[in-house]
Structure 1
Amino acid sequence: MTGTLITVAPTGAESAKAEVPALPVTLDELVVTAKECEALGAAVIHVHIRDDQARPTLDLGRLRETVSALREGTDLIVQLSTGGSVTDPEADRLAVLDADPEMASCTMGTVNFGDDVFLNRWQFVVDLHTRMQDRGIVPEYEIFDLGHLAALRRLLDRYGLPAGGHVHVDFVMGVPGGMPGSTEALVACAQALRDLPDGTTFSATGIGRSTIPVMLASVSAGGHLRVGMEDTITYAKGRPVESNMQLVARAVGLAQLAQRPPLNPAQARELLGLAAQR
């Protein structure tokens, strides 16, 4: 890889605005954050939205408004989360695709998620994958554990390549109940990609204190980066994150240090197979 794909995940569904005041929860806050992060070097924005009380929501009208505003205000690739929060029903998660994003997440299996369970039944995964194929939406396959890569191989073998023809996964590491955020776990996942189609690429996300170890391991292994306040709200021990810009700037600095500068949105679209979908 000669460049680094940087994804920003600015909000998520876990943190409360009252506890994390810098979290962007309104549409205006999200658009401002998106513009700032694009200017620094992000190419993709992974989107969760909130309602008027700053609670996680999958309201379709709000999702459509968000996609439209981000397209109008930035050139970022808009990737909607189909995960929502762990309590969202499958029908609402499937309906996220009706907001017509360029990309959407597709989590490849069920995982314990702290005290909760993030349920992703096989048939639900198949429905997501095939609906995205039909609509020309490019998936990012979310991998919370090593077995999820075997499930992805099964999915592709049975139902074919995703829209755009390119397979891109994101290793979500350090979730309590999922794989650890360690170099050893990332190497195991990267080696398992050999069983997937040639050219498969990966990003990695380190949750909480695993953020920096995962960033370093991913870049050194030829992977890409996802950062943001969805995944970490502490910049350093005892130091809260002030904005998503801080986290993107750190990722950009690491990419430049590795002599793999950030990809711009056009280059990212080429990498991910989005250019073929336009």
Structure 2
Amino acid sequence: MATATSLPADRLLITVAPTGAETLKDDCPQLPTTLEELVATAVECEAAGAGIIHVHIRDAEHRPTLDLGRLTDTVAALREATTLVVQLSTGGSVHDPLERRLKVLDAGPDSCSLTMGTTNFGDDVFTNPWPFVCELYQLSQERQVVPEFELFDLGHVHALHRLLDSYGLPYGGRVHCDFVMGVPGGMPGTADALVAGVAALPEAVTSWSATGVGRSTLPVALAALSKGGHLRVGMEDVLTLRKGVPVESNRQLVERAAELAVLAQRTPMSTDEARVLLGLAG
């Protein structure tokens, strides 16, 4: 794996994914779905040690949306209230059409998610055909938006090799990935699966993080820390702190990640350091 930056080796990037597109507000009232709730969450999570916020938005009825006006307003509000790297999801919900997902970059985020292939997603299918992946990647290069390559399976790691070989490095020159593990239909949320995924990464990769969905949250986090990786946490991925104990706020999950970092002798990155890591500095 390539050397990313001159940052101290003990630095840990914490990404918070506060909302997602799957959980209903009626089922989880504490989920931040309004702009005001999202901004308040972002402020709390930055103070707790997050460097990136991975954003899905909702409409006035709390349903997932890719409305460009709402996305643009969200980016502006988060930049006004925090110094977090603002990363918009280009996945939206599994039902969003490809052409609307491409329009997400029109909102001008710092970063965007870029999923490297189609995967079964519970009872649904998260569609990412190869021509779409290539078009979104080239658009991110053109718009100077840093992609985070989302890897749901080992085949997605192979696809990342193919993408970089075909179209070169992303804007900023860094290659940051996130293993999304434990989704029904994707790779399991186990240490063995993470080790295999990291071993298969392209040499051009400069940093990687991991996300464990549901019960795999802590096993994946501990495995990622032991391998020198970074963490994504948040209510998009898990809604309980432990069996029978619901998450009350995303801040709790960021704080827990920061506590794990202390045990692993890692220090949460500042937002300035996160920008250096991703090639956004300057």
Q: TM-score range by the shorter chain?
A: over 0.9
Amino acid of the residue matched to residue 47 of structure 2? A
Q: Does 1:256 align with 2:244?
A: no
Tell me which of 72, 78, 96 is aligned to 1:88: 96
CA displacement, residues 136-191 of structure 1 (integer Å, 9 cap, x when unaligned): 10000000001101100100001110000000000000000000000000000111
Cross-structure match for 1:71: 79
Cross-structure match for 1:226: 232
Tell me which of 260, 272, 276 is aligned to 2:278: 272
Tell me which of 236, 246, 250 is aligned to 1:240: 246
CA displacement, residues 48-72 of structure 1 (integer Å, 9 cap, x when unaligned): 0000000000000000000000000
Task: Note the C-alpha offset of 1:200.
Answer: 2.1
Tell me which of 204, 210, 220 is aligned to 1:204: 210
Cross-structure match for 2:153: 145
CA distance, structure 2, for counterparts of residue 154 and residue 191 of structure 1: 16
Cross-structure match for 2:38: 30
Query: Identity over the aligned pairs, expressed in percent?
Result: 66
CA displacement, residues 210-264 of structure 1 (integer Å, 9 cap, x when unaligned): 0000000001100000000000011100111111011000000011111111000
Query: Which 5+ residue runs of structure 2 have no aligned equivalent?
Result: 1-8
Tell me which of 117, 123, 128 is aligned to 2:131: 123
CA distance, structure 2, for counterparts of residue 55 and residue 117 of structure 1: 19
TM-score scaled by length of structure 2: 0.96
Task: Note the C-alpha offset of 1:40.
Answer: 0.6
Query: Which 5+ residue runs of structure 1 have no aligned equivalent?
Result: none
CA distance, structure 2, for counterparts of residue 68 and residue 118 of structure 1: 28
Local SS of the residue matching 1:67: helix
Task: Note the C-alpha offset of 1:196.
Answer: 3.0
Q: Does 1:164 align with 2:177?
A: no
Q: How many residues in Structure 1 have an aligned counterpart in Structure 2? A: 274
Tell me which of 189, 204, 207 is aligned to 2:197: 189
TM-score scaled by length of structure 1: 0.98
Moved over 4 A (4+): none
Local SS of the residue matching 2:208: strand
Local SS of the residue matching 1:61: helix
CA distance, structure 2, for counterparts of residue 110 and residue 157 of structure 1: 20
Task: Note the C-alpha offset of 1:201.
Answer: 1.1
Task: Note the C-alpha offset of 1:99.
Answer: 0.1
CA distance, structure 2, for counterparts of residue 208 and residue 234 of structure 1: 8
CA distance, structure 2, for counterparts of residue 157 and residue 217 of structure 1: 29
Amino acid of the residue matched to residue 40 of structure 1? A
Amino acid of the residue matched to residue 126 of structure 1? C
